[in-house]
Amino acid sequence: MKTLKIGVAGLGRLGLIHAENIYHLKGVELTAISNLDEEVNKQIKEKYKVPNVYTNYEDMLEQSELDAVCIVTPSGFHTEHIRLALRKNLHIFCEKPIGLDVEDIKQTIDEIEKSDRIFHLGFMRRFDSDYLYAKEMIDSGQIGDISLIRSYSIDPIQGLDSFVNFAKKSPSGGLFLDMSVHDIDVIRWLTKSEISTVWATGTNKAAPELDELNELELGTVTMRLDNDVTALLVAGRTASHGYHVETEIIGTKGMLRIAASPEKNKVSVFNEHGAVRPSSQHFPERFAEAYVNELKDFVHCIRENQHPEVTALDGLRGTEVALACQESFDTNKLVDIQY
């Protein structure tokens, strides 16, 4: 079996996770990294024995040994970096969102569809065992027809100050595009339907300085889907107990709750605080298995020449809905989405 040689572009928090997971995959080699921070590059080169290190993405793409690239650069660069990799005939794994501009994404999809390379998008919840279990129950009709979905994504409040400092230097794309694309994708995936109308609200009570930066610490969206399902979405940065990701699906014959509480494990702690269940504190901990599984699927699709279930079109739809949510918040109006 030929060793697949993969390069990672971008070594922020998530890029480091992907680099480690690629390093440990069987039949795969972490062949190259591209990142602006030379000190981080040095550390990763030594830790994983990476033979090729670059501070420029295009220079990395000139590495003739590469079979594929994992793009974890800032969101605004994703479409450009996808197109550059396609022109080098490389397979591509790209983190969400696929891009920030709808027309730019559509042009990029045109190039993806003309290529015979595998394109995989990082919606890792589709590879989480809990979400997959719920999906199987829904698809087999065990809870009947879906009537309502409620989905939460709330980051720990301990990271709020860091986010405020980040937002002062660089726009995140907004709360809905930065965080809610995962919930949007889950809603579309579980219902097999498109989102048609959104109404969004939000607040900055814990970090009012975000008002001036056109950012939100907490946002909510009410959605109507083409199949008459109602969806409620909450995204935020103020969970005091840890990293809170929860999804509830109400059907005509029953209901499901995925991670109703963000439990770290099956341990209960009994002490002066009472009976306590430890909570997951960050996304790498909660979705560690899912991040590995999505890369395994990427490698499998390359070897078997199969198209991944999650596609570039899923990325486009996520961005379209997230931008509509932002428009609804900005205008305080219902927004109908035209695809």
The DSSP code sequence of 96-108 is SPS-S-HHHHHHH
Measured in residues, the chain has a length of 339
Q: Which two tokens stand for residue 290?
A: 């899912």
Q: Tokens at residue 87, please?
A: 């022109």
Share of the chain above pLDDT 70, in %: 100
Taking the C-alpha atoms of residue 186 and residue 192, their distance in angstroms, rounded to an integer, is: 10
Element (H, E) at 14: helix 13-24
Q: Residue 169: pLDDT band by 50, 70, 90 thresholds?
A: confident
Could you identify the residue written with the tokens 């024995």? Answer: 49
The conformational region for residue 14 under phi > 0 = left, psi -120 to 50 = alpha, else beta, is alpha
**Residue 171 pLDDT greater than 80, yes or no:** no
> Each residue of 109-142: pLDDT tens digit?
999 999 999 999 999 999 999 999 999 999 999 9
**Pairwise CA distance, residues 19 & 32, whole Å:** 10
Residue 222 burial class via C-beta count within 10 angstroms: exposed 0-12, middle 13-18, buried 19 and up: middle
Q: DSSP letter string over 284-305?
A: HHHTHHHHHHHHHHHHHHHHHT
Structure confidence at residue 186 (pLDDT): 98
Tell me what pLDDT residue 73 has: 96
pLDDT recorded at residue 265:
82
Can you read off the two tokens belonging to residue 156? 């720990």
As a whole number, mean pLDDT of residues 11-36 equals 97
Comparing 261 with 93, which gets the higher pLDDT? 93
Contacts 24+ apart (CB under 8 A), 303-306: 303/1, 303/4, 305/118, 306/118
Digit-coded pLDDT (tens) for 206-239? 999 999 998 999 999 999 999 999 999 999 999 9
- Provide the pLDDT confidence category of residue 173 given band limits of 50, 70 and 90: confident
On the 0-12 / 13-18 / 19+ scale of CB atoms within 10 A, 18 is buried
Strand ranges (DSSP E) for 35-145? Answer: 52-54, 68-71, 91-95, 119-122
Whole-number average pLDDT of the chain? 95
- The answer to whether 174 and 163 have CB atoms below 8 angstroms apart is no
Contact 153, 198 (CB under 8 A): no
- pLDDT value of position 256: 98
pLDDT at 204: 96
The amino acid at residue 332 is N
Q: What is the mean pLDDT of residues 88-96?
A: 97
Quickly state the pLDDT bin for 280 (edges 50, 70, 90).
confident
SS3 content of the chain, % helix, strand, coil (to 5): 40, 25, 30
Instruction: Please compute the mean of the pLDDT values over residues 183-203 and round it to a whole number.
Output: 98
